[in-house]
Amino acid sequence: MKNLEQIIKCFNKTEGRDKISKMIQYGAKFLSWYFQKFNNLEKAHQFNNLFMAMREARKIFRLAKTLNEIQYIFYKIKENTENVNDIIRVLKIFSRIWFALFWAFDNLSILSQIQIIQSNPKVLGKIAMSFWAVGIITNLTETFRDLIGNLLYLRKVQKQTDHKEIQKRINVNYLNIIKNLCDLLLAGTGSELFSKIFFYQPNDALVGFGGFIAGIIATYQAI
Amino acid sequence: MKKLDQIVKGLNKTEARDKISKMIQYGTRFLTWYYQKLNKLEKADQFNNLFMAMREARKIFRLAKTLNEIQYILEKIKENSENQNDIIRALKIFSRIWYALFWAFDNISILSQIQIIQSNPQVLHKIAMTFWTVGIITNLAESFRDLIRNLYQLKKISKSTDSKEIHRRININYLNILKNLCDLLLAGTGSELFLKIFLFEPNGALVGLGGFIAGAIAAYQAF
């Protein structure tokens, strides 16, 4: 009963349901690639349908998500900055600005795809992915900085309770780094930045796998 | 800022986001009918695209919603029923059983539509709508019974504070009855029960208006 309650609690939050859907979306992408490799085209087609259905549904359900970022940015600006590292605070704010722009262009892209607005959805989608990539890189910078700060602090600390708390923060840093690196695989592919900078385009297996791992970590953090 | 906080808090709940999407879905259904009447086919087509996109996205995002009903039913069964009206408790349980079946068939219908499972999505959709209709009728029976009981109680009580509380419960009853009647318009159309029993099929305007009002009430209750 407790497990059922936890699952439902997660499903009842937009973020929890979205991240589980992300796992299904990218899991289906991976399976579509896998069955194509084995020439099982019917199954590949089925999983591709599931991937596309999940992708469109998630895009529709994140309309107006920019509002979340605007709220967070306002809070960070008003925050009492006495005990907060200024550089990390600035990085957090910039990261959310990039994400706010990502959601905005992502919303415009789906609205133009269903022809509510007259624009090129692929161009808007690429712009959205580019902002996402920049947002992820900003996140990674902030997380690495925080991780280094925590590792240095861990050396100095004496009390067992403080040690446990810092170890917990370090584990959160590691999880966020893995999640962001996996998301960078998706954003770098979608924005074609990998193609332009490294002359390399990850295949569907890598994208599917990366998205699935990012989805699992985000779901765990959302519960 | 407080309004923004309220909006973001609401949108972060799956139920609230779903009900706002329901308002958009049925609002655009109404507008599709409206622009078709005015022979503005391009605009009608745009709004129809949005209607269909919202409908599919909401179906995808309510996968596994049966779990919510199972949790509610288990809690109601285990509940201490000393101070509870047995008939209302039984009606609540039955209503959630019908809704559990509605979500289950609705989920299977969308999975067969995107060809994950091999079945006829239209037939499954009709079965889902039929269970929804029965669930709504059970809800209405429970709401009417509760309303009558509250109206009788209102006549007897003398204290002003008790009167306020009962008025609040009566307002909730009226809102629920209106919401369920509007939903009945949708379910009765989708299951074709109106056509079979009353030889009448509500048009796009009625369905759109009914769905919009039901969505607005549910969104207000979810926020």
Over the stretch A102-124, which tens digit does the pLDDT of each residue have? 999 999 999 999 888 889 999 99
Residues B114, B22 share a domain: no
Residues B183, B83 share a domain: yes
Residue B151 falls inside a structural domain: yes
Percent of residues, chain A, with pLDDT higher than 90 = 62
Residues B143, B114 share a domain: yes
To the nearest whole Å, the CA of A36 is away from the closest chain B CA by 16
Q: Which residue's structure tokens are 């902002």? A: A131
Is B3 within 8 Å of chain A by CB? no
Q: Which residue's structure tokens are 């599709």? A: B32
Residues B216, B143 share a domain: no
Residues B216, B156 share a domain: no
Residues B129, B104 share a domain: yes
From chain B, the residues in CB contact with A14 under 8 A are 11-14, 17
Residues B179, B215 share a domain: no
Residue B197 falls inside a structural domain: no
Would you place residue A83 in the very low, low, confident or very high pLDDT band (cuts 50, 70, 90)?
Answer: low
- B14-73 confidence digits (pLDDT tens): 888 999 999 999 999 999 999 999 999 999 999 999 999 999 999 999 888 898 898 889
- For residue A21, pLDDT beyond 70: yes
Residues B57, B128 share a domain: no
**Mean per-residue pLDDT of chain B:** 90
pLDDT score of A13: 83
Interchain CB distance below 8 Å, A11 and B74 = no
Residues B109, B27 share a domain: no
- For residue A196, pLDDT beyond 90: no
Domain count, chain B: 2
Residue B178 falls inside a structural domain: yes
DSSP one-letter code for A207: H
From chain A, the residues in CB contact with B12 under 8 A are 13-15, 68
Residues B169, B216 share a domain: no
- For residue B170, pLDDT beyond 80: yes
Residues B71, B57 share a domain: no
pLDDT score of A84: 67
**Mean per-residue pLDDT of chain A:** 90
Residue B198 falls inside a structural domain: no
pLDDT score of A41: 93
- For residue B214, pLDDT beyond 90: yes
Interchain CB distance below 8 Å, B12 and A70 = no
- A38-66 confidence digits (pLDDT tens): 999 999 999 999 999 999 999 999 988 89
Spatial CB neighbours of A105, under 8 Å, sequence gap ≥ 6: A124, A125, A127, A128, A131
| Domain range enclosing B27 | 1-61+203-223
Residue B207 falls inside a structural domain: yes
Residues B50, B130 share a domain: no
